[in-house]
Chain A
Amino acid sequence: MERREFLKLSGLAGTAMVLGGCEDYSSQLIAYVERPIALEPGTGNHFATTCDLCSAGCGVSVRIIEGRSVKVEGLDGHPLSHGGLCALGQAGVQHQYHPDRFRGPDLRVKAGEVSPDYLKLKMLFDDVFKAKKRPTTVPENFKVGLTSFAAPDFALADAKAAEARKFGADLWAQAADRLGRVLAASGAGTVVVLGPQVRGHRYQLFAQVAKAFGAPAPVIVEPFGYEAVRAANQAVYGRPDMPYVDLANTELAICFGEEPFTTGPAPTLFNWGFGEMRRGRELVRGLFVAVSTRMGEAATVADLWIPVRPGTHGVIAQLALHAMGKGGVSVAEAHEKTGAPVERLEKFVRWVAATELKVAFGGGEVLGHTNAVETLSLVNGINVAAGMVGRKGGIVPAAPSPIAGMAPPAPISYKELVKLVDRMKAGQVKALVVAGVDLFMALPGDAGLEDALKAVPEVVSMATVPDDTAAHATLVLPDSTFLERWGDATPSVGSGSSVATLMQPLVVPFFETRSAEDVLLTAAKAAGKDLGFASAEAYFKARWAGIASDNQVPGTQSAWKKALRNGGVHKPAQGAPLAARMPAADLPAPRFEGGEQDFPFVLQPVKSMKYREGQAAHLPWLQEMADPMSAAAWGGWLEVNPHTMAKLGLAQYDEVVVKSLYGEVKVGVVPYPGLPEDVVGMPINFSRRNGTRYDGVEGGSTWEATMKKDPGRGEDARALLGAKAAQAAGGLAWGSVRVSLTPTGAKSKRLVLVSKSIQPQESPAVPARVEQEFKVWPIS
């Protein structure tokens, strides 16, 4: 065949294929019953609200098209997000449209067993999904925030959907009644546990309800939290809260162990600050130094990475103090204790001595060590020694919220959480109400939480998607997502501004879920404790009545609307001055559990930006996303230094049993040159035993299967940690465990690598579904 003929045939074949492949489209135009004001077909509107997927409280702008949320972005000018947004926030729409979301309340007869009524509700909604592929319209105008939108929620558009909604509403009436009875019966024996992202008046309402029923004030649980940071801040700055680290105006930033741009307390804020530090000023380009054991994302963008042995970060802080003439240790001593290259240490000393504006901060892997408080106190000491506390380009005190009394108390420590678990085991807790956190994500495998939950007569879960805590609940009251409900927040970290962000419902709840505020108000009223608010909207409006937005008069409709439009209120401000005490110069050596002989490797648990503290594990975008450092996707992996792999005869994808004093897991090996030879890294909180179809290690089981207790799921680095490993500040010393590696001789069936240099077909692990649906990175 000649070229010309080949081209002719190809053209003809291509045309035929294009014609044949033309997709089906709707042949019907379905009218709105009542067109909402400002809605134009196919045109998006942006509305401001607040992301509540972590405790940072970033203002976000959500694009709504015909009542559907389609994109979450950072809110321009917001002091936390500055128009940017992290991967978790971007995946917020998946949180809303998650296929395994609870459809409505589940009034269980026995803990952990799904009620027939809930199954019926789920079936009704499933029928609606099958019947309708495209959105249609709504029968009535939902007055939602500023939008006045009638969301074209297809689930309302026909008789089947109306039946599902009505059945769900009936269940809610029963559920609120039951919650009221549980609270009334349990009284002082009720414990309310909230997640760290509960940063506003939601906490106050929970506290009000708890008080009305004679229960103690709610507690906030922060998985793998910042106890050591708060303790160090208290010791040096005189206050435990997290100040604003003014990266934008500094000349030298020294980061100890933290991954500020991916998993820290406010990744978007730190990313903005970093950008400003590097490129925001004429003639000044700030320097960034990362001090860490594992080469993480911060080390890759750093001008200087100082690799240190586990738990020796504080020695580098002492070196910085030495460079400023405040005692500390010399380069030679630092090299000996940390193993860091001498030339890098010398360069570091030169930079510290030469720069006037410098700021040091820490967290991340430092938080996992037994000497975390002492290390972070020394880090804070650098700021004190440099005179950077309260100074531009240094540590700026966090400004209080413009609404007095809005901020919740600090989260309880890990030690206090363990005490609570012990109380549950002892039968001292009559009812446990959990909202916004999966307790299993906050505790090591041997903490005995499962037994503790079984000892509590009533466990009420307000989870949005199934998790391990909800799997042990007697009553599930699913909360609406941040796109569907009212709320507010004051950020957990300083931002150089006084901030109160506002959350407004932008879309109609996708299923029959209710905001926790509405549930609490209804339940309290049903139990004869009317709190005086007709709805969550009325509650938040009342709380924001004193807010003046710019020139608006407080309490007026225009002030409220302006606050909604701007995503809350904020203005540049600083808090009361911080103390500046030099910390003790001592740095205890880190302790590790397990003998070196039996357990030759230190386990470095990794907070991956894919999973954060576990709140992102159910989102497929994040499960699918390759970890920026290891290139692993879907589930977990073990990072091992290539030299160690050679010594052990391991190859990529080989399966090993990782064993500690407390447990063992099987996992696939990834070569990772950014770790010392005697340290291995593994992500935490990437899976649940009873999660959604995406949290599982195999990433493919259905929700129904998980409810049947699929035994193949839930292997996580948490299983290797010990419950007793607490720090001085009461935090969990999650980086203090030694492990051994034993090859199984097989290739991992679960490890998925996404990389140009790693060919996926080499792996027997790539699930067929991933190949088909998610296009693994080019195979070449």
Chain B
Amino acid sequence: MNPIKALVAIAPVVAIGALAFVLYNEHAHETGWSLSAPHAAPVKQPILFSHEIHVGKRGISCTYCHQFVDKNAHAGIPSMETCAGCHKTLNVAALPEWEQKEIGKFMVGNAPNMVLKDPLNPVKWNRVYDLPNHAHFPHQVHIYALATKQGKEAETACINCHGNIAKQEVVRQEIDLIRMGTCLSCHDKYGASKDCWSCHY
């Protein structure tokens, strides 16, 4: 093939591909994951929710808030009432000022009768983990394989993909989760199926 002709033929394709790649990564950057930066930065949230305090210091189980993780494809996020269940009796005055400020973003009143500040507008959390649409990660299957099947508590499995959440003040992708190699190495390690359709269905 004539090199010039080949170049002319390839150039628009490469240009389109490059543009798509840039746009895609731009979008990915906003949403917290990126093809080029697997270890994404902490994602800013509307409330500075600290997993370090809730999980690390208070010892709250993952499944208390993410109630579907062991029975559904989606782990789920806690309802506002779940948050309020603890926070309505919390003595806010005894907390550091920044914590008071963050709690004040969704609760009002005084303990033990605090109520949701704006029930019409629940918190809109920013997504930290997401997979492309062509790949599926059913949480319950992984929890069963890594924990329940071995007689362990469900939350012992979470660390495999999400890292040590108890040490993360603001959650970030600690493990290079989005790459297929990460999935495959784990599937290999635990003897899980590596058929394409196991995840791409």
Contact = CB atoms under 8 A, between A and B. Distances in A.
Interface in B1-47: 1, 5-6, 9-10, 13-14, 16-17, 19-21, 23-24, 27, 30-32
A34 B132 contact: no
A39 to B, nearest CB: 10
Interface in A6-62: 9, 12-13, 15-17, 19-35, 40-43
Contact of B119 (A27, A40, A41, A139): A139
B120 A13 contact: no
A461 B187 CA distance: 62
B109 to A, nearest CB: 16
Contacts of B124: 28-31
B72 to A, nearest CB: 5
B130 interface: yes
B81 interface: yes
B199 interface: no
Contacts of A678: none
Given A12-B13, A17-B16, A35-B81, A162 B122 contact: no
A29 B119 contact: no
Contacts of A29: 77, 124-127
B116 interface: yes
Q: Range of interface residues on chain A?
A: 35 or more
B71 interface: yes
Interface residues of B, number: 44
Contacts of B10: 9, 12
A31 B23 CA distance: 29
B133 interface: yes
A139 B20 CA distance: 40
Secondary structure type dominating chain A contacts: loop
Given A13-B13, A28-B125, A140 B119 contact: yes
A136 interface: yes
Contact of A20 (B5, B16, B31): B16
Interface in A225-258: none
Contacts of A773: none
A167 to B, nearest CB: 15
B81 A159 contact: no
B29 to A, nearest CB: 11
A27 B79 contact: no
A32 B79 contact: yes
Contacts of B5: 1
Contact of B72 (A12, A30, A40): A40
Which of A19, A25, A159 is most buried by chain B, counting CB atoms within 10 A of its CB? A19
B81 A33 contact: yes
B9 A9 contact: yes
Given A13-B13, A162-B120, A22 B24 contact: yes
A137 B120 CA distance: 9
Contacts of B73: 42
B120 A159 contact: yes
Contacts of A13: 13, 16-17
A158 interface: yes
Nearest to B25: A19
Contacts of A343: none
B26 to A, nearest CB: 12
Given A29-B77, A31-B79, A19 B122 contact: no
Nearest to A157: B120
B71 A16 contact: no
A147 B74 CA distance: 21
B77 A1 contact: no
A279 B33 CA distance: 56
A193 B124 CA distance: 48
A43 B19 CA distance: 37
Contacts of B133: 22-23, 25
B76 interface: yes
Which of A21, A29, A30 is most buried by chain B, counting CB atoms within 10 A of its CB? A29
Contact of B23 (A1, A20, A35): A20
A31 B9 contact: no
Interface in B41-76: 67-68, 71-74, 76
Which of A12, A41, A156, A162 is most buried by chain B, counting CB atoms within 10 A of its CB? A41
Contact of A41 (B6, B72, B82, B127): B72
B121 interface: yes
A2 interface: yes
Nearest to B43: A27
A734 B130 CA distance: 61
A282 interface: no
A9 B13 contact: yes
B76 A12 contact: no
24 contacts: A2-B1, A12-B10, A12-B14, A13-B13, A13-B16, A16-B16, A19-B20, A20-B17, A20-B20, A20-B23, A21-B20, A25-B31, A27-B32, A29-B77, A29-B124, A31-B78, A32-B80, A33-B119, A33-B122, A34-B81, A35-B82, A139-B120, A158-B120, A158-B121
Given A25-B130, A40-B68, 14 more contacts: A1-B1, A16-B13, A19-B17, A20-B24, A21-B20, A22-B24, A27-B30, A27-B31, A28-B124, A30-B124, A32-B79, A33-B116, A41-B68, A136-B122
Interface of B: 1, 5-6, 9-10, 13-14, 16-17, 19-21, 23-24, 27, 30-32, 67-68, 71-74, 76-82, 116, 119-127, 130, 132-133
Q: Would you list the 5 A-B pairs with minimal beta carbon distance, nearest first?
A: A20-B20, A16-B17, A32-B79, A35-B79, A27-B31
